Amino acid sequence: MIVGFNFKKKFGQNFLSDKNLLTSIANDAQITADSQALEIGAGAGALTEVLAENAKKVVSVEIDRDLKPYLDLLCDKYKNLNIIFGDFLKLDKETIEQNFDGKYKVVANLPYYITTPIIFRLLDEHFNAESLTLMVQKEVAERFCATVGTSDYGAVSVILQSQADLKITRIVDKSLFYPRPNVDSAVINITINHDKFKIDDREAFAKVVKASFGYRRKTLINSLQLGLGIDKALAESAVKELNKPLDIRGERLSVEDYIELTKILSKSGCTL
Using CB under 6 A, list all residues that contact ligand SAM.
11-16, 40-43, 46-47, 61-64, 87-89, 109, 111, 114
State the minimum distance, in angstroms, from the CB of residue 167 to ligand SAM. Answer: 21
Output 125 or 195, the one with its CB closest to ligand SAM: 125
For residues 21 and 133, the answer to whether their CB atoms sit within 8 Å is no
Output 111 or 250, the one with its CB closest to ligand SAM: 111
Output 1 or 198, the one with its CB closest to ligand SAM: 1
Of 202, 180, 211, the closest CA to residue 1 belongs to: 180
Reduce the secondary structure of 47-99 to three states and give it as a string.
HHHHHHHHCCEEEEEECCHHHHHHHHHHHHHCCCEEEEECCCCCCCHHHHHCC
Output 36 or 48, the one with its CB closest to ligand SAM: 48
Per-position DSSP letters for 198-222, written without gaps between them: --S-HHHHHHHHHHHHSSTTS-HHH
State the minimum distance, in angstroms, from the CB of residue 142 to ligand SAM. Answer: 19
Output 26 or 61, the one with its CB closest to ligand SAM: 61
State the minimum distance, in angstroms, from the CB of residue 88 to ligand SAM. Answer: 4
State the minimum distance, in angstroms, from the CB of residue 202 to ligand SAM. Answer: 24
State the minimum distance, in angstroms, from the CB of residue 107 to ligand SAM. Answer: 9
Output 135 or 164, the one with its CB closest to ligand SAM: 135
In three-state secondary structure terms, 223 is helix
Output 93 or 267, the one with its CB closest to ligand SAM: 93
Strand (E) or helix (H) holding 265: helix 255-267
Total number of residues shown for the chain: 272
Question: What proportions of the chain, in percent to the nearest 5, are helix, strand and coil?
Answer: 45, 20, 40
CA distances from 109 to 44, 57, 95, 180, 194 (A): 12, 18, 21, 14, 24
State the minimum distance, in angstroms, from the CB of residue 165 to ligand SAM. Answer: 24
Of 165, 92, 81, the closest CA to residue 125 belongs to: 92
Q: Which residue type is seen at 173?
A: D
State the minimum distance, in angstroms, from the CB of residue 66 to ligand SAM. Answer: 9
